[in-house]
Amino acid sequence: MKTTVSTKSKKKCEACGSNDIKTHMATFPVKLGPKQLNVGRVSVRECMDCHAMTPTKAGQEKIARCTMSFMMLLDR
């Protein structure tokens, strides 16, 4: 995974409690029932110890927009 923006954060990982977290852009998978939607270029915080990814606030907003657009396409 290519890191585009790399900064240290004082936040802790929700999965393992580590402080070694980097913020960068990545593809984030979203499960929608039996389907998986891969949202590209989402701002996420990734733990360097357990590699758990958590979207930032801006990343969550992008995921919501993309999910809404996808659901609108399925309704047609």
User: How do residues 7-22 score in pLDDT, each as one tens digit?
Assistant: 554 788 989 999 999 9
Residue 41, both tokens: 């270029």
Q: What angle do CA 28, 44, 10 make, to 5 degrees?
A: 155
For residue 72, the model assigns a pLDDT of: 93
* DSSP bridge pairs for 23: 45
Of residues 22 and 75, the one with the higher pLDDT is 22
For residue 61, the model assigns a pLDDT of: 97
pTM: 0.79
Q: Compute CA 63 distance to the chain's CA centroid, rounded to the nearest angstrom.
A: 8
How far apart are alpha carbons 76 and 70 in whole angstroms?
10
Q: Are 37 and 30 in contact (CB under 8 A)?
A: yes
User: How do residues 25-37 score in pLDDT, each as one tens digit?
Assistant: 999 999 988 989 9
Is the pLDDT confidence value at 58 over 60?
yes
Class of domain 21-75: alpha beta
